[in-house]
């Protein structure tokens, strides 16, 4: 393994984060801690915790991609009036049942 110098990397790749960075937004949308919760990529079928999704946050919204096939799994956009979630790239999510 070698590690490329950061300057030689595609800047978009070097700036991408992961699902941990949007844990609060996930919590807002789903009413629970979701980063450890699994979901399935609708494109390739990979099942992985939401924390492992690649998060592109240097944009008006957040784009979350599958870490295996790079397909868009979710897009989240916040406006002053509303929040938008496009989750068509997720086949399913599994949220833990919360104690009452």
Partner 1 sequence: MTATLEWQLATVTAIRDETPRVKTFTLSLPAELPHLAGQHYDLRLTAADGYQAQRSYSIASDPTLAGQIELTIERLADGEVSAFMHDVVVPGDRVEVRGPIGGYLVWNADGGGPILLIAGGSGIVPLMAMARHRASTGSHVQATLLYSSRSREDIIYFDELQRLHSGDALGVFHTLTRSQPPGWTGYSRRIDGAMLEEVLAKSDPAAAIFICGPTPLVEGAAEGLVGVGLAPGRIRTERFGSTGS
Q: What does the binding site for partner 1 look like in residue numbers (CB under 8 A)?
A: 1-4, 6, 9, 13-21, 23-24, 27-28, 31-33, 35-36, 49-52, 55, 57
CB closer to partner 1 out of 2 and 97? 2
- Half-sphere exposure of 89 toward its Cβ, with a 13 Å CA cutoff? 21
Q: Give the total residue count for the chain.
A: 100
Q: How far is residue 75 from each of residues 5, 8, 10, measured CA to CA in Å?
A: 30, 28, 22
CB of 78 to partner 1, least distance (A): 10
| Between 71 and 96, CB nearer to partner 1 | 96
Minimum distance, C-beta of residue 1 to partner 1, in the bound complex (Å): 4
For residue 25, the minimal CB distance to partner 1 (Å) is 9
Q: Which residue has the tokens 């509303």?
A: 82
Cβ neighbours of residue 60 closer than 8 Å, sequence gap 6 or more: 77
For partner 1, the closer of residues 4 and 88 by Cβ is 4
């Amino acid at each position: 393994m070698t590690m490329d110098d950061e300057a030689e990397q595609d800047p978009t790749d070097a700036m991408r984060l992961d699902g941990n960075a949007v844990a609060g937004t996930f919590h807002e949308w789903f009413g629970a801690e979701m980063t450890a919760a699994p979901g399935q990529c609708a494109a390739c079928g990979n099942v992985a915790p939401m924390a492992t999704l690649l998060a592109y946050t240097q944009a008006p919204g957040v784009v979350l991609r599958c870490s295996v096939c790079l397909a868009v799994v979710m897009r989240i956009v916040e406006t002053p009036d509303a929040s938008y979630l496009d989750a068509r790239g997720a086949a399913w999510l599994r949220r833990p049942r919360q104690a009452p």
